[in-house]
Structure 1
Amino acid sequence: MKKEYRIKKNQDFQTVFKTGKSTANRQFVVYVLQKEEQDHFRIGLSVSKKIGNAVTRNRIKRLIRQFFLEHKMLVKERDYVVIARKPVAEMSYEEVKKSLLHVLKLAKAFKK
């Protein structure tokens, strides 16, 4: 994923946490922050050490990034912070995709 599509700085994460709106299901929590004059979305990923070892955590992050790449044209131009919960560790890509679609629909993150 290109650099301009990522949230890396702690200050950016904190801004999204404090002023953004959160939506959740059993597998993910998504914080969404609408910013003025932003021409593409940005995502920040948070996968806790409680979920598994480094291999598991990196696999989960790859799956989430792949979802956003596949749905790049549908996602609104906002900042997203995606927090993975414990059940994600045992999920396949299809299950992750279905769960992210669900939570992003709840967050009204898709273009019409």
Structure 2
Amino acid sequence: MRKAYRIKKNEEFQAVFKKGKSFANRQFVLYFYPKPNQTHFRIGLSVGKRIGNAVVRNQVKRYLRQAFLELEDCIKQDFDYVVIARNPAKDLSFFEVKKSLTHIFRKSKLFSKVKC
């Protein structure tokens, strides 16, 4: 995932939290905020210290980035997304992370009309 497609600044995270909407399941919380002028979605990842040590947190972030990369064609492009990992996320494999993320996107109706 390119760095241009990531949310890094605190102000951008806060804008998504305050102005956006959210959906959640047991493993993740997804915040999203529409950006009509944007050609590609941007993601911000938040994995707190409660999840585990640095190795575990980085693994969860890698899994999330890869899941977004694989679901890229299905996800609506003109949004900013922030994903917050909850404690059960540390025990998931990559395929379970992808399945959980897909569940949240279906629940929030953020998949594009393309069959995914």
Q: TM-score range, shorter-chain basis?
A: over 0.9
> Structure 2: how far apart are the matches of 1:68 and 1:56?
19
8 Å Cα contact 1:32-1:107 kept in structure 2: no
Following superposition of structure 1 onto structure 2, how do residues 90-109 of structure 1 map, counting pairs within 5 Å? 90-109=91-110
> Structure 2: how far apart are the matches of 1:72 and 1:84?
19
For 1:57, the aligned partner's letter is R
Per-residue CA deviations over 1:50-87 (Å, capped at 9, x if unaligned) read 00000000000000000011111111121000000000
Q: Which residue of 1 aligns with 2:39?
A: 39
> Structure 2: how far apart are the matches of 1:107 and 1:39?
20
TM-score, normalised to structure 1, is 0.98
Percent of paired sites with the same residue:
61
- Structure 2 unaligned blocks of 5 or more: none
CA RMSD of the aligned region, Å? 0.6
- Structure 1 moving runs of 4+ over 4 Å: none
TM-score, normalised to structure 2, is 0.94
Residue 3 of structure 1: CA displacement?
Answer: 1.4
Per-residue CA deviations over 1:15-74 (Å, capped at 9, x if unaligned) read 000000000000000001001211000000000100000000000000000001111111
> Structure 1: how far apart are the matches of 2:103 and 2:96?
11
> Structure 2: how far apart are the matches of 1:16 and 1:60?
21
- Structure 1 unaligned blocks of 5 or more: none
1:62 aligns with 2:62: yes
Q: How many residues align?
A: 112
Following superposition of structure 1 onto structure 2, how do residues 1-112 of structure 1 map, counting pairs within 5 Å? 1-77=1-77, 78-112=79-113
Q: Helix, strand or coil: the match of 2:14?
A: helix
